[in-house]
Amino acid sequence: MPFNIEPSTNISVKMATRGRPELALESMKSCIETADDPSGIEFLVAVDDDDQATIDYVNNTMVPYFEEADVDFQCFVQPRLGYARLNEYDNQLATESRGRWLLTWNDDARMESKGWDTEVLSHNGQFAVLRMQDNHGHPYAIFPIIPRDWVVFFGTCSPFPYIDAWISQVAYPNDAVIQLKSRCLHDRHDLTGNNNDDTYKERDLTHEGNPDKPGDFLHKDTVNLRWQWTLKMNWLRKRLGQDNGFFDSVQEGKANYNDKLLEQDTKGFLTTYKVST
């Protein structure tokens, strides 16, 4: 199916889920129940073809719920890719999406703020990343919201499995992360004590911490590719007339590439980035 370049709805919520059908539905319900206009939101879910329990739940419970709520919903069943290829699920869902804004969401996340969709749409026209408040305390946009133009321009959401890290590290040097007032909760086991299941235990966190290993987030080839994306974002934002004076100061040697990111890192998550990569 060809990618829809022009949007035909407001927001696309993209989510891969495995072994958590009830949790996934509650997660999507939280987005609907807090939205000002649920009719302007579509939900796209990726499910592994060996997860029959979730497939059955989608057909028997999710589909009827969304039909009754009159909210757009699509489920895509595909071969299992695993956590290490999480971005591939997300990128595939993006190609099927129709929204002006694309939200990468989790089955263990909950939307807490009323009118979150209205706040997102207030930034229409900005080539920027929207960052919700959350319970992480991490400077990344944990559930990044990107404009459709991001996928049109780059051809994908993220080439790296740590989607939040990739998108954030491209946008921060361009001073293009917009902090939203809207808040969500990530009900992840290490944060809340909940959902200590097989899905949580099977997370693959081996792609950062070994810069000498090809494919690592800090390997020189990965860093170089991320820098190319950052340069391209700078190029486009300038042509759109969007302020990017900070990046100019980086290129002039007056500021560090990671300064905007580190300003938000009040809890010291990113000590690795105290030195420019």
Q: Quote the pLDDT of residue 274.
A: 52
Tokens coding 108:
């263990």
Q: Is the pLDDT of residue 3 over 90?
A: no
**Cα–Cα distance between 73 and 93 in angstroms, integer?**
12
Would you state the pLDDT for residue 273?
A: 63
Output the six-digit token pair for 65: 């719920």
Q: What type of residue is 49?
A: D
242-274 confidence digits (pLDDT tens): 977 898 898 889 999 889 999 999 888 887 665
Shortest CA distance to 101 belongs to which of 13, 168, 209? 13
pLDDT at residue 275, as a whole number: 43
pLDDT of 128 reads: 98
| Superfamily name and number for 9-165+174-201 | Spore Coat Polysaccharide Biosynthesis Protein SpsA; Chain A (3.90.550.10)
Other Cβ atoms less than 10 A from the Cβ of 264: the count is 19
3-state DSSP helix/strand/coil percent for the chain, to nearest 5?
A: 40, 20, 40
Whole-angstrom distance, CA of residue 155 vs CA of residue 40: 24
CA-closest candidate to residue 175, choices 246, 273, 253, 256: 246
Name residues whose C-beta falls within 8 Å of residue 95's C-beta, 6 or more positions apart in sequence: 1, 3, 151
Whether the pLDDT of residue 5 is over 80: the answer is yes
Strands 145-147 and 99-104, by their bridges, are: antiparallel
Query: What SS3 state is found at 109?
Result: strand
H-type alpha helices, 172-252:
189-192, 198-201, 220-239, 245-251
Nearest to 184 by CA among 204, 202, 164: 164
234, pLDDT greater than 80: yes
Of 60-69, 107-116, 206-215, give the lowest mean pLDDT range. Answer: 206-215
Total length of the chain? 277
Residue 243: predicted pLDDT: 76
Q: Residue 276 has what pLDDT?
A: 42
